[in-house]
Amino acid sequence: MTSLDRLEDRLSTIYQLNLQEAFATNAAINDLLWELWTILGGNQDKLRDLRTRAQVLKDVERYRAVAVAYVAAAGHTLQGVEAELQALRDRLVEYVADSQEIPVEVHLASIERTIRRLREDKNQSPAIVPAV
């Protein structure tokens, strides 16, 4: 969760930087469009460069939004896993307190298998990349 929080902070920083750069780029495009030489057909290279920069900034924002969604989903998943583990711990304490029918080793092996399965699921799930 700490890593996800740090990642979320970095994504917020990227968002702020992206906003500032997008504002500056749009202002530069507007200034360039008002110049007489641009109106007459000059400055096409500058205009194309600025429009490309603006498109890159839009792409960065789109990818950042997807990353934020992934971070949020990972956080929710971790909270669910944590809740399941807590429930398992509670049941384990009940079983140990009530009877000695199921040994602790069996519970620990079950937890290890669950963790292994979660890791395998994580490694097998394909990365989803948004269309550009």
Contact assessment for residue 89 and residue 108, using Cβ atoms and an 8 Å cutoff: no
Amino acid of residue 90? D
Inside any domain, residue 131? no
The pLDDT of residue 46 is 87
Tens-digit pLDDT profile for residues 73-128: 888 888 888 888 888 888 877 766 665 566 777 778 888 888 888 887 777 665 55
Inside any domain, residue 113? yes
Residue with tokens 């509670």, as numbered in its chain: 90
Inside any domain, residue 28? yes
The pLDDT of residue 56 is 93
Specify the pTM: 0.56
Q: Into how many domains does the chain fold?
A: 1
The three-class DSSP label of residue 8 is helix
Inside any domain, residue 115? yes
Domain that holds residue 31: 2-124
Per-position b or e across 46-66, b if 16+ CB within 10 A of its CB: ebeebeebbeebeebeeebee
Inside any domain, residue 132? no
Inside any domain, residue 129? no
Q: Is the pLDDT of residue 57 over 70?
A: yes
Inside any domain, residue 53? yes
